[in-house]
Structure 1
Amino acid sequence: MYLYLIRHGIAIDPDPLTLDSIADDESRPLTKIGRKKIAQVADCLKQIHSHKGARLGLTFDLIITSPLIRAKQTADIFIDKQVSPKLEIAQDLKPMGNLPAWLMNWNARSDRNSISTLAIVGHEPNLSEWTELLLFGKVSHQLILKKGGMIGLKFPGNQIEIGTAQLYCLIPPKYLS
């Protein structure tokens, strides 16, 4: 199984003292530039080529997103660009989310064996910390996922367990847009 962790795109500033801002963190939408860059990321994923020119065309069987507006808008763009046919929302993917709870829910799903490529759209520092936990079993704060960036992890089966992942790819947004 492949798990892709994707950070949401650029959102409106959370500082209420700036012109382009919103006070409620959960309601911050993507900026116009953020939407454009995420659309470019989605287009790029569908057109990725290997070094020998073979088309890889990365798509996801399912995208699960944080319910926050900026993450949901990011996931919606992936759906609109047909990078995935299905979208779900998970409360555990909110900022400061609960990885053990999300893992328990994922590993208990009856349909998980039919999903070989899963993407989750979320926030920092969650995604970087979760990546370190899934890879190494501990958080060392060495990874930082930029907005619109993606980390790909490979698991030996369809169980996602702490400390069992292999790093498959780490793509900063500048290489996807």
Structure 2
Amino acid sequence: MDLLIIRHAAAQGREEFAREGLPDDQRPLTQRGIDRMKMAARGLTTLALPIERLIASPAIRAVQTAEIVAPAVEVRESEPEGAFAPDAPVEGAIDWLRKQPRVDGMAVVGHEPNLGQICECLVSGRANGNMPLKKGGMMLIRFDNAVGYGSGKLVWALPPAVLRALAD
């Protein structure tokens, strides 16, 4: 199975949004974030990934990012999953991934620092804080067998600028 890990695109500033009195999970993408993610998604199409499921944190910025990525990976819609919410424990996300039916490819949209830690756990067996993702960045991890701690192989890690460059 291939697991595509995607950090949400640039969102409205946390402090600025907090002044509006709304919960952080309602914080939306900026127009610049939307535009840049659309370009990155076009670049993603050049990689021809076999994605069957698209999972997103229930936070609005992750849902919006998933909506932008869905056509690029040829998935009709994303599925919300609390295991990838901003404050969800890394262990919960890995446990959720382990319990999923095997597919050729799955994409997950979420947040830092969780996503980087999830990637580290899947590739090396533990999180050290060494695999952060930029907003709009992506990593592809491949599993020959079951998903679990240390069982994944990092295929690539691309910053958003490289994904956008692939769109040209």
Aligned residue type for 1:60: I
How does the TM-score come out when normalised to structure 2?
0.88
> Out of 70, 78, 88, which is 1:97 matched to?
88
- Relative to 1, partners in 2 of residues 1:98 and 1:77: Cα closer, same or farther, differing over 3 Å? same
User: Which runs of 5 or more residues in structure 2 are unaligned?
Assistant: none
> Are 1:22 and 1:28, in contact at CA under 8 Å, matched by a contact in 2?
no
How does the TM-score come out when normalised to structure 1?
0.84
Cα drift, residue 26 of structure 1: 0.7
> Are 1:61 and 1:86, in contact at CA under 8 Å, matched by a contact in 2?
no
Aligned residue type for 1:94: A
Between structure 1 and structure 2, the one with the greater Rg is 1
Aligned residue type for 2:30: T
Q: Counterparts in 2 of 1:19-168, with a 5 A limit?
A: 23-48=22-47, 57-81=48-72, 83-109=74-100, 112-113=101-102, 115-157=103-145, 159-168=146-155
- Percent of paired sites with the same residue: 30
Cα drift, residue 24 of structure 1: 2.5
- Relative to 1, partners in 2 of residues 1:67 and 1:18: Cα closer, same or farther, differing over 3 Å? closer
> Are 1:152 and 1:168, in contact at CA under 8 Å, matched by a contact in 2?
yes
- Which residue is equivalent to 1:52? none
Cα drift, residue 126 of structure 1: 0.3
SS at match of 1:35: helix
**Structure with the bigger percentage of helix:** 2
1:64-85: CA deviation from partner (whole Å, max 9, x where unpaired):
0000000000001122445323
- Relative to 1, partners in 2 of residues 1:78 and 1:140: Cα closer, same or farther, differing over 3 Å? same
> Are 2:138 and 2:159, in contact at CA under 8 Å, matched by a contact in 1?
yes
